[in-house]
Structure 1
Amino acid sequence: MRIGILQTGDAPADLRPESGDYPDMFQRLLDGRGFTFRTWRVVDLEFPATVHEADGWLITGSRHGAYEDHAFIPPLEAFIRDIHAARVPLVGVCFGHQIIAQALGGRVEKFAGGWSVGPTDYRFGDETLTLNAWHQDQVVAPPPGARTVAQSDFCAHAALAYDDRAFTVQAHPEFPDAFIRGLIRTRGKGVVPDPLLAGAEARMGPPNSAGRLADHIADFFTAPRQA
């Protein structure tokens, strides 16, 4: 199965030699599950010709806000709507979670409650998954037809399911602890309050449920669908 990665931002340059860029992280996350990958840098207005150039799509995180005025956002929203209409499976992570919701009629805001950083517990029904977070923006009103399937104490709509068409999460299962430490060093200081950064550092280490969420994403991509 070919997964098309729609890249909407870049990892910090001084972290890329060790971590790779965002598409590299997702390929590692989903390694061994039978997928091949191709990346389109939609942040640079590189878009696929059609929604059928991949069997499934994944939208990455970004430092940009979904509600901001960037040239790539309107065509990305249009492409999301085309994917949804064609019933090609779509996964969104962090910014991807937000832009999919916005494109389909939801609302995204810079959350007045501040930041969520580092290991965070998310309630997926009866299961609690610990996943790394790095965000202030969040979906505050899901679009029509979306169902909230996970919450945290900070984020009311931490994962959304759009029947068998899309599955999106606010957390970053692709970010290992080492990358969060790098973000604290390169993007956190002076932006995220110091007590939150210190708390994130203190919580790092097992357990981390990234593998469990990777299984869920893989199951979503490969599930049988209506013709």
Structure 2
Amino acid sequence: MFARLLDGQGFTFETYPVVDGHFPPSVEAAEGWLITGSKHGVYEDHPWIAPLETFLRDAYAADRPIVGICFGHQILAQALGGTVEKFVGGWSVGVTEYDLVSGAPAERIIAWHQDQVIVPPAEARVLASSDFCPYAMLAYGTKALTYQPHPEFSPAFMTDLLAVRRSILPPAIAEAAVTSLALPLTSSRAAAQIASFFKTRQIH
């Protein structure tokens, strides 16, 4: 999905399934790191969580650019001293609008999460938020850029995901998510920002 999202930008990809214990040999093994979503919570007791946090702190210290999406957004925040929790307000599912601090037109991206960053790390700067998710998009100087929602999700994929996992959602949330998929997305703007960040370290 990320190769498709960033298609045409000149990137090549190698995947490391850290959930299965397969980690890169070093932070220097790639020019940048993209941490994807996951069905797991960053606060859960899995043997790969702590090594992933260590890897991210090392990559951050080595000034290797990092992009995090959903779980990736959360695990970097936790690794750098922030707090992530299962949000007491419940789920955010479907096409969601996020207000940009810059005053640019709002982003409209598909979300699927219950966990979220509750307290961001000290060095994080908020780029976008919603009433439900105040830390929806964070920048860490020129070192990292992270999103709580999923710019890589398409309406077709989300339709299939809802069909498979609808039973875990409150019925009203699921219905609203289905309805929201008719709204236009700005995922291409997010893709352009991610590509620009990896290439130039610029965050617009």
Give the TM-score taking structure 1 as reference length. Answer: 0.86
The counterpart of 2:152, out of the listed 174, 183, 189, is: 174
How many residue pairs are counted as aligned between the two chains?
200
| Residues 80-91 of structure 1 mapped to structure 2, 5 A cutoff | 80-91=56-67
Offset from partner CA, 1:91-133 (integer Å, 9 cap, x none): 0000000000000000000000000001000112212010000
Report if aligned partners of 2:109, 2:186 keep a CA contact under 8 Å in 1: yes
Report if aligned partners of 2:65, 2:201 keep a CA contact under 8 Å in 1: no
After TM superposition, the runs of 4+ consecutive aligned structure 1 residues lying more than 4 A away are none
User: What amino acid sits opposite 1:42 in the alignment?
Assistant: V
Offset from partner CA, 1:147-197 (integer Å, 9 cap, x none): 1111012101001100000000000000101111112121221x2111111
Q: Is 2:30 aligned against 1:59?
A: no
Cα distance in 2 for partners of 1:221, 1:124 equals: 20
The counterpart of 1:192, out of the listed 169, 180, 185, is: 169
The counterpart of 2:100, out of the listed 124, 129, 147, is: 124
Partner of 1:18 in structure 2? Answer: none
Cα distance in 2 for partners of 1:134, 1:91 equals: 18
Partner of 2:124 in structure 1? Answer: 146
The counterpart of 1:109, out of the listed 81, 85, 97, is: 85
Cα distance in 2 for partners of 1:48, 1:202 equals: 40
Partner of 1:5 in structure 2? Answer: none
User: What root-mean-square deviation, in Å, do the aligned CA atoms of Structure 1 and Structure 2 show?
Assistant: 1.0
Give the TM-score taking structure 2 as reference length. Answer: 0.96
Q: Is 2:35 aligned against 1:46?
A: no
% identity of equivalent residues: 54
Report if aligned partners of 2:93, 2:177 keep a CA contact under 8 Å in 1: yes
Q: Which runs of 5+ in 1 are unaligned?
A: 1-24
